[in-house]
Chains A and B, each alone.
Chain A
């Protein structure tokens, strides 16, 4: 069964802390994505990666960075967490090409106090 695994389902952090959200996929997919989901705003793309060590900014990259050192792992980093980064974070992966559907992880709900 194909799987995208996010390391933490729930995190509570303090303002200013550095936060790492990890995502691992076992499908040998080239593409990996990080989204945040907020009520009324849908899913907004933060960053995506189409290959190891390659990354592209999405629509809301400010305050975030990413790392992809291995094909199966894509990490989202909040250098200095702020309260407006409280959200649900969804990782996804897909094959390349237009038709490659996204396979999603279960999500990581981050609360920044």
Chain B
């Protein structure tokens, strides 16, 4: 069974500073995909970034980067130069690549990020 753990219920950051949101995962699959989603107070789910388990480079999308450490089974999201609009709930998720986990996308508990001016 696959599992995603986000240990930070809430995080605070000053505007324009960088922040790291933690995510660890557990899977026996060799092939899997990792995602981060943002959910503002409006409730919509916004896709931010994807990392495949065989990708050698860390994924980046604008101010978002994914710090992928395969041996440690961690996939932390780094947001650079935080903006007030980054205040939201952030979810880490994993899609399995084989067996009973194939295609299944499992989410963590989420981290609420608050950006202070």
What residues make up the interface of A, taking CB atoms closer than 8 Å to B?
Answer: 31, 33, 35, 40-45, 48, 50, 56, 58-59, 88, 90, 92, 94, 96, 98-104, 106-107
CA distance A42 to B107 in the complex (A): 7
Q: Shortest 7 CB-CB distances between A and B: which pairs?
A: A98-B33, A104-B45, A43-B107, A42-B109, A101-B47, A42-B107, A42-B110
Can you list 29 A-B pairs with a CB-CB distance of less than 8 A?
Answer: A35-B107, A40-B9, A41-B109, A42-B6, A42-B109, A43-B91, A43-B93, A43-B107, A44-B107, A45-B104, A45-B105, A45-B107, A50-B103, A56-B103, A58-B104, A94-B105, A98-B32, A98-B52, A98-B97, A99-B52, A100-B95, A101-B47, A101-B50, A102-B35, A102-B37, A102-B45, A102-B47, A104-B44, A106-B44
Per the 8 Å Cβ criterion, residues 40-85 of B in contact with A are: 43-45, 47, 50, 52
Q: How far is the CA of A101 from the CA of B110 in the complex (A)?
A: 18
Report B109 CB to chain A, min CB distance, Å.
4
Q: Is the CB of B107 within 8 A of A98?
A: no
For chain B, the count of residues having a C-beta within 8 Å of the partner chain is 25
Interface of A is mostly: strand
B27 in the interface (beta carbon within 8 A)? no
How many A-B pairs with Cβ below 8 Å?
Answer: 57
A98 touches B104 (CB 8 A): no
CB distance from A100 to the nearest CB of B (A): 8
Q: Does B14 interact with chain A (Cβ within 8 Å)?
A: no
Residue B106, interface by CB 8 Å = yes
Once bound together, how far apart are the Cα atoms of A38 and B105, in whole Å? 17
Given A101-B35, A107-B43, A96 and B105 contact (CB-CB distance below 8 Å) = no
- Complex CA distance for A44 and B9, rounded to whole angstroms: 17
Identify which of A48, A88, A92, A103 contacts B104 (C-beta below 8 A): A48
B8 proximal to A (CB < 8 A): no
Contacts of B50 in A (CB 8 A): 99, 101
Q: How far, in angstroms, from A10 to B112 measured CA to CA in the complex? A: 24
A94 contacts across to B, CB distance below 8 A: 105
Distance to closest chain A CB from B20 (angstroms): 19
